[in-house]
Amino acid sequence: MPTTALSTASLSFREPVIGPSSKPIRIFHPAYDKPTEILHVATYPHPDDSDNDTHGLPLRIVLVFCFIIANNKKGLLREKDSGSDMGSGDVWLCYGDYTYDLAESETPYPICTTFSSWAIPVELPEGWGWSMMGSSSEPPPASNQSNLSTLVKALDKACLLTGKTFGLETCHLVPRSERKWWNYNTMNAKLGNIEGIDSPQNCISLRGDLNGSGMDAGHFIFAPYRGYGVCVCLTNECRDVARDLNLSPLRLSDRLKPHCFFARCAWGLFKSQEKNLEALQHAQKVPIPEELRNRSNMSQAGGARKKSAGAGDRAKEGGDRAERGQDQMQIDNLKFDLSARPTDEELDQDEEIERELQLQASTPNELAQELYPGFSNLNRLKVAYLPSLDQLSYFNTRIARVGDETLSVLHLDDGDQIDRNEAVSQWLDRGAFA
């Protein structure tokens, strides 16, 4: 076949696509002499504005944000300087400074500063369109943890926001790391399911880059706007995403539930406001329920990168080795404890740590702590599989080196040792392979 010389004159580097700089909407608590900023969200031009000079957000969406921060209390927005009431209709709220005044006479009203301190209302607020964010009656499709991702992708067929099929990921609206919050807020009863946080009612398909470093980092949420569920960008860091996707409609499915979208709205809001809200030491705050305090301390710390006290000891050991100039990390001390079964809370913590790991390359110290891409899924699979092998609890089997099959001794739970061949013989006698 003849060939043709191709000109390279048309090749050029792609320039970064960066959206316009954001101008914030800032909401202040009206009851303190000291400026008390309870909300700071980025704004972008209205999608219909070709001149890019109408930075703002739909008023009703901002009212939802304030409702959540004020512990599910309805109020009204006033312009900070003039005190003018912004109303409650389907209007565009331009960037600027405002106060949020409660309709009730509670002053100063307490604010929620963490997701754990906020409780989802049994009935979602009327008049703001949340009832159209999914179905309140559609039963959940049957699933289990092992086929959840496959099922959700098959149901959605593409990213619900972009329509793309490449790099598709299954995303939880209420993150798995908030399992205790889910149970404490009786979400199963609200959704009418028995599958818990891993129900397809709580999962959507998104393009991979929009998941971990986008939605799970608090850069955008979903909310109703003019009859659609839309993407709402919250931060200045996602300007390039906002340029293409801010207020873009989300393809909704009847299996999805308004309560899950409302909870994700709150979770993303608190994530995006984390530093701002932590600084409000003088403001009256809604306390975190005792049952959720341990969970909150871990999750609000920004994903502390250690699994347990034991992991912390291993990290210190790894750091000591590094200080002694040992560039080649020794990994032959890694253990895979077949009888150890992490709790649900530990599994949730693993997932949160892994989300942090995905944002940057793993370090040698993290690898020495058994923190590597995929470790949380491995732990979940182990927990799901081990109950079918009760005999494993008889032997606290440890493999001292990855891939090493030369060991002749196994360790028992009581500290004794046993010959490998004798252990296998006893295992067979106990019916392990029956």
* Percentage of residues in the chain having pLDDT higher than 90: 46
What is the per-residue pLDDT for 158? 96
**pLDDT-wise least confident of 6-15, 43-52, 221-230:** 6-15
pLDDT tens-digit profile of 48-101? Answer: 876 667 899 999 999 999 999 999 999 999 999 999 999 988 999 999 999 999
On the question of pLDDT at 373 being above 90, the answer is: no
Q: Are 134 and 369 in contact (CB under 8 A)?
A: no
Q: Which has the higher per-residue pLDDT, 206 or 407? A: 206
* Percentage of residues in the chain having pLDDT higher than 70: 63
What is the per-residue pLDDT for 332? 38
pLDDT tens-digit profile of 288-321? Answer: 999 998 644 444 444 443 444 344 444 444 444 3
Paired with 98 in beta bridges are: 27, 79
On the question of pLDDT at 414 being above 60, the answer is: no
Helical ranges in 85-219 per DSSP H: 148-156, 179-184, 187-191, 208-211
Mean residue pLDDT of the chain comes to 77
Spatial separation of the C-alpha atoms in residues 112 and 228, rounded to whole Å: 28
Cβ within 8 Å of residue 92, ≥6 positions away: 46, 54, 56, 57, 58, 59
Q: Which has the higher per-residue pLDDT, 5 or 100? A: 100
What is the per-residue pLDDT for 219? 96
Q: How is the chain split into domains, by residue range?
A: 17-139+219-292, 309-429
Return the exposure string of 404-433: e unless at least 16 CB atoms fall within 10 Å of the residue's CB, then b: eeeeeebbeeeeeeeeeeebeeebeeeeee
pLDDT band at 381 (very low <50, low <70, confident <90, very high): confident
**pLDDT-wise least confident of 122-126, 149-153, 421-425:** 421-425
pLDDT band at 420 (very low <50, low <70, confident <90, very high): low
Spatial separation of the C-alpha atoms in residues 199 and 152, rounded to whole Å: 10
Specify the pairing of strand 25-28 against strand 96-102.
Answer: parallel
What is the per-residue pLDDT for 76? 94
Spatial separation of the C-alpha atoms in residues 159 and 223, rounded to whole Å: 17
Helix axes 375-385, 344-357, angle to 10 degrees: 160
**pLDDT-wise least confident of 13-17, 197-201, 277-281:** 13-17
Paired with 134 in beta bridges are: none
On the question of pLDDT at 248 being above 70, the answer is: yes
Query: How many helices (H) and strands (E) would you count in the chain?
Result: 14, 13
Spatial separation of the C-alpha atoms in residues 96 and 235, rounded to whole Å: 15
What is the per-residue pLDDT for 366? 57
Q: Which has the higher per-residue pLDDT, 172 or 143? A: 172
The pLDDT of 320-325, averaged and rounded, is 40
What is the per-residue pLDDT for 193? 81
The pLDDT of 353-361, averaged and rounded, is 64
On the question of pLDDT at 124 being above 70, the answer is: yes
What is the per-residue pLDDT for 395? 44
pLDDT band at 155 (very low <50, low <70, confident <90, very high): very high
Helical ranges in 13-55 per DSSP H: none
- Report the range out of 100-104, 131-135, 186-190 with the highest average pLDDT: 186-190
